[in-house]
């Protein structure tokens, strides 16, 4: 379908790219796609986006948008009506951030032997698989997401033998291990880049160069281009200026990556989490981005690489060459791809990735990570629910609330901390009863919260530090910039795992590389382990429930019950029925009528006549 200025929004959203981009634009303007689907707004022509955006989108931006929409692919996966059963659809994953998990050698930094030490704990949660963030040799500009050597281990973390042992010890416990592979970029200290700088033309073509930079901006502030006097040209870095984007249009680069992936699968890894893999293909000619469209989606230029022209082709090649022969699982990090474009990447018959992470539910419509606000769960639901009902049975969602790139969800919802216990249990309830593969981030299972940062010197993350410099450089007061960091910094998720109430929370016998949250004296594994009311035991119960009732809770149907805007209620059903009722607010709310079955778990012990703040409950009945 050719989109023109006269196309109506309701028709534009019938295409995959139209659907996802319009949804994303509306989202960043504080609206939900349902507004276009269910109200007369859908009859408006695409040109009226200018008005809908309160003038943020100019006529030129609307034209740029139309051009982008017409250039993006629109394919849908096939639907043959059957649901394939796979181990990863039945698994619960646990993400480990090695730097902050457990320090075994008292240097203040977590390490691989530290993870091995804690495998019995991970097993005791009932999880089936671990995603381990990068552990490769790296100068650590971005905590290991800047890889210097893909076949070596970061010295602070241990050795290749330690990783071999980690794989074996995981397998001995029946736990699968997927590792984090960064294929979009390498460190500027990688030998390929060094050779490129030394004038080797073959290696120059491993990276992306321009004589004059375009206007793309980096995710970590400032322009996405760095000038290198050695070559007299600018090299692209979508992230830090030490993370150089690889040129995936060069078949040799793809071959190198496939060999690296083979190396790790041969060593015994069960698959990969692929870092920003949706960014690997960039539009031909690297055109300027439309400043408004890009910014509304996230960053200037992103429309030219979030689902680039060769993405599906390269993913299919990677799958054919590497994943398929090893029977490996993959979950891709795919920011910018909404539900319809994600179906193109994960459909059963597409031969690309097993699953992906999408991020729109992580912030409320109209809000960005550094905004100072309390997240409203009611506003999160339309996006989350769409993945339950519209992703189709041929794609399998991932479900997560926390990871290493976001503040803790319980803090985001309730910065004052009045209801953290209830909220953590509420999140566990949703995570483990919805359809899809749950990912638990280390520490969420004990209810870890944001760190009370008060000074810039306490931050470590390059994104936070660059953000502070950029914003204050543009005139923001230091006070406001500090407040925004406090709400959005990734460092909240990177503070040490809280094992006990001792001074470094049982993470290390030395001074940890980043502050330990003072709340570790009460929020920690040791104290929660035997406490029947702890967040930890709530998680364990919910994981056990999910595994004991696979038919209903994993493969069963998902049906929403109308319960008003403050309450989420849904049924998962096969041979048995689970009814989940959640008060999405910090006030009281009416329990929907006609809920039947036994109330088997809740974050409040006795059932009240009304739902109390953030009350979550699960009812069970045989059918």
Catalytic residue list: 275, 333
CB of 205 to ligand NOJ, least distance (A): 22
Among 23, 276, 428, 516, binds ligand NOJ (CB under 6 A): 276
The token pair that represents 561 in the structure block: 């019950």
How many other CB atoms sit within 10 Å of the CB of residue 3? Answer: 18
Nearest approach, Cβ of residue 353 and ligand NOJ (Å)? 16
- Options 188, 245, 360, 405; binder of ligand NOJ; rule CB under 6 A: 405
Q: Which of 94, 136, 145, 150 binds ligand NOJ (CB under 6 A)?
A: 145
Residue nearer to ligand NOJ on the CB measure, 95 or 411: 95
C-alpha span between 115 and 202 (Å, rounded): 39
Contact 453, 562 (CB under 8 A): no
Helix (H, G, I), strand (E, B) or coil at 331: strand
Q: Using the minimum distance from each CB to ligand NOJ, give the nearer residue, 190 or 404.
A: 404
Alpha helices, DSSP H only, in 231-310?
A: 251-267, 291-297
Among 135, 234, 239, 541, contact with ligand NOJ (rule: CB under 6 A): 239
Task: Tell me how far, at minimum, the Cβ of 404 lies from ligand NOJ, in Å.
Answer: 6
Q: Name which of 257 and 276 has its Cβ closer to ligand NOJ.
A: 276
CB of 190 to ligand NOJ, least distance (A): 14
Minimum CB–partner distance for residue 546 and ligand NOJ (Å): 26
Which tokens sit at 85? 């059963």
Q: How far is CA 82 from the centre of its chain?
A: 28
Residue position matching structure tokens 């910065």:
415
Residue matched to tokens 């022509």: 45
Q: Closest separation between CB of residue 276 and ligand NOJ, Å?
A: 5
Q: Which is nearer to ligand NOJ, 304 or 404 (CB)?
A: 404
User: 613 with 432: CB under 8 angstroms?
Assistant: no
Q: In angstroms, rounded to a whole number, what is the distance separating the alpha carbons of residues 447 and 99?
A: 19
Shortest Å, Cβ 275 to ligand NOJ = 5
The token duo for 72 is: 């993006």
Residue nearest to ligand NOJ (CB): 145
| Single residue of 142, 162, 383, 573 touching ligand NOJ by CB under 6 A | 142
What's the rounded Cα separation, in Å, for the pair 382 and 387? 9
Residue closer to ligand NOJ by CB (options 145, 234) is: 145
- Using the minimum distance from each CB to ligand NOJ, give the nearer residue, 145 or 318: 145
**Cα–Cα distance measured from residue 28 to residue 58, given in angstroms and rounded to the nearest whole number:** 16
Number of residues that bind ligand NOJ (CB under 6 A): 9
Taking the complex as a whole, how short is the minimal distance between the CB of residue 511 and ligand NOJ, in angstroms?
24
Indicate the residue among 141 and 377 with the shorter CB distance to ligand NOJ: 141
- Looking at residues 486 to 515 of the shown chain, list those that interact with ligand NOJ (rule: CB under 6 A): none
Angle between helices 160-172 and 251-267 (to 10 degrees): 60
What is the C-alpha separation between 228 and 197, in angstroms, rounded? 8
Task: Tell me if 175 contacts ligand NOJ by CB under 6 A.
Answer: no
Distance between first and last Cα of the chain: 46
Comparison of 101 and 239: residue with beta carbon closer to ligand NOJ: 239
Contact 569, 590 (CB under 8 A): no
CA separation for the pair 514, 491 (Å, rounded): 8
* CA–CA gap between residue 17 and residue 608 (Å, rounded): 46
Coarse DSSP helix, strand, coil percentages of the chain, rounded to the nearest 5 percent: 40, 15, 45
Query: Cα(375)–Cα(363) distance, rounded to whole angstroms?
Result: 7
Binding mask 293-322 for ligand NOJ (x = CB under 6 A): ------------------------------
Binding mask 246-275 for ligand NOJ (x = CB under 6 A): -----------------------------x
Give contact residues for ligand NOJ (rule: CB under 6 A). 142, 145, 182, 239, 275-276, 333, 404-405
């Amino acid at each position: 379908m050719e989109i023109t200025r006269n196309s109506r929004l309701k028709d534009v959203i019938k295409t995959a790219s139209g659907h996802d981009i319009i949804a994303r634009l509306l989202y960043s303007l504080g609206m939900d796609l349902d507004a276009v689907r269910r109200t007369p707004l859908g009859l408006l022509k695409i040109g009226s986006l200018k008005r809908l955006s309160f003038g943020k989108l100019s006529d030129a931006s609307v034209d740029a948008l139309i051009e982008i929409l017409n250039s993006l692919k629109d394919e849908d996966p096939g639907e043959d009506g059957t649901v394939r059963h796979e181990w990863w659809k039945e698994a619960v994953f646990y993400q480990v951030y090695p730097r902050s998990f457990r320090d075994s050698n008292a240097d203040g930094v977590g390490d691989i032997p530290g993870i091995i030490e804690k495998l019995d704990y991970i097993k005791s949660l009932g999880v089936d698989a671990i995603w381990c963030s990068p552990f490769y040799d790296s100068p650590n500009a971005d905590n290991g997401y800047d890889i210097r050597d893909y076949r070596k281990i970061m010295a602070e973390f241990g050795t290749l033998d330690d990783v071999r042992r980690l794989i074996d010890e995981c397998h001995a416990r029946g736990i699968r291990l997927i590792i984090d592979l960064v294929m979009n970029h390498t460190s500027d200290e990688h030998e390929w880049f060094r050779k490129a700088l030394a004038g080797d033309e073959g290696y120059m073509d491993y990276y992306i160069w321009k004589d004059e930079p375009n206007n793309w901006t980096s995710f970590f502030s400032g322009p996405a281009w760095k000038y290198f006097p050695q070559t007299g040209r600018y090299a692209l870095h979508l992230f830090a200026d030490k993370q150089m984007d690889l040129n995936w249009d060069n078949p040799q680069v793809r071959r190198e990556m496939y060999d690296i992936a083979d190396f790790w699968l041969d060593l015994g890894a069960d698959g990969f989490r692929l870092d920003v893999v949706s960014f690997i293909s960039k539009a031909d000619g690297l055109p300027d981005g439309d400043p408004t469209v890009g910014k509304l989606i996230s960053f200037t230029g992103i429309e030219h690489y979030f689902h680039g022209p060769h993405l599906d082709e390269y993913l299919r090649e990677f799958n054919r060459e590497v994943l398929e022969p090893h029977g490996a699982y993959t979950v891709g990090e795919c920011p910018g791809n909404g539900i319809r474009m994600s179906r193109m990447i994960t459909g059963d018959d597409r031969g690309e990735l097993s699953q992906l992470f999408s991020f729109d539910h992580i912030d409320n419509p109209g809000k960005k990570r550094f905004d100072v606000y309390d997240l409203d769960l009611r506003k999160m639901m339309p996006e989350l629910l769409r993945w339950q009902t519209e992703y189709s049975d041929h794609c399998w969602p991932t479900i997560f609330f926390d990871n290493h790139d976001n503040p803790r969800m319980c803090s985001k919802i309730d910065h004052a901390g009045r209801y953290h216990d209830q909220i953590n249990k509420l999140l566990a309830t949703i995570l483990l009863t919805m359809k899809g593969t749950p990912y638990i981030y280390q520490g969420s299972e004990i209810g870890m919260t944001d760190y009370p940062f008060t000074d810039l010197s306490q931050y470590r993350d390059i994104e936070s530090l660059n953000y502070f410099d950029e914003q204050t450089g543009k005139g923001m007061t230091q006070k406001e910039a500090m407040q925004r960091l406090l709400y959005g910094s990734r460092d909240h998720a990177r503070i040490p795992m809280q094992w006990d109430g001792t001074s470094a929370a049982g993470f290390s016998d030395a001074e940890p590389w980043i502050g330990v949250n003072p709340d570790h004296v009460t929020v920690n594994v040791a104290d929660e382990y035997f406490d029947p009311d702890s967040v930890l035991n709530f998680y364990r119960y919910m994981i056990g429930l999910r595994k004991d009732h696979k038919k209903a809770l994993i493969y069963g149907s998902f049906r929403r019950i109308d319960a008003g805007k403050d309450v989420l209620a849904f049924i998962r059903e096969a041979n048995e029925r689970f009814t989940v009722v959640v008060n999405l607010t910090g006030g009281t709310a009416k329990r929907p009528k006609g809920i039947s079955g036994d109330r088997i778990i809740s974050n409040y012990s006795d059932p009240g006549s009304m739902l109390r703040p953030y009350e979550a409950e699960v009812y069970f009945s045989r059918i």
